[in-house]
Amino acid sequence: MTCDRCAQTCSSTICSMFNTEQICEACKTAERADPRYAEAVAADEAAIRRGDYNFPGIGLLDDDENVKAMRETAQAIGLTQLLADTLTALDRQRACVAEALQLLGAKKNLGIESSCISGKDVGLTPRRDA
Specify if 116 maps to a domain: no
* pLDDT of amino acid 29: 86
* pLDDT of amino acid 15: 93
Specify if 61 maps to a domain: yes
| Cα 53-58-60 angle, rounded to 5 deg | 130
Number of H helices, E strands in the chain: 3, 4
* pLDDT of amino acid 103: 72
Q: What is the pLDDT of residues 50-70, one digit of tens each?
A: 999 999 999 886 656 666 676
Mean pLDDT in runs of 10 for the chain (130 residues)?
84 92 88 88 96 91 65 70 70 75 61 47 49
Backbone angles phi, psi at 74, to 5 degrees: -60, -40
Specify if 22 maps to a domain: yes
* pLDDT of amino acid 40: 94
Specify if 112 maps to a domain: no
* pLDDT of amino acid 58: 92
Specify if 3 maps to a domain: no
Enclosing domain of residue 52 = 14-91
* pLDDT of amino acid 51: 96
Cα–Cα distance between 95 and 70 in angstroms, integer?
37
Asked if residue 5 lies in contact with residue 74, where contact means CB atoms within 8 angstroms, the answer is yes
Cα–Cα distance between 86 and 120 in angstroms, integer?
14
Specify if 4 maps to a domain: no
Backbone angles phi, psi at 120, to 5 degrees: -110, 140
Domains of the chain: total: 1
Specify if 70 maps to a domain: yes
Specify if 38 maps to a domain: yes
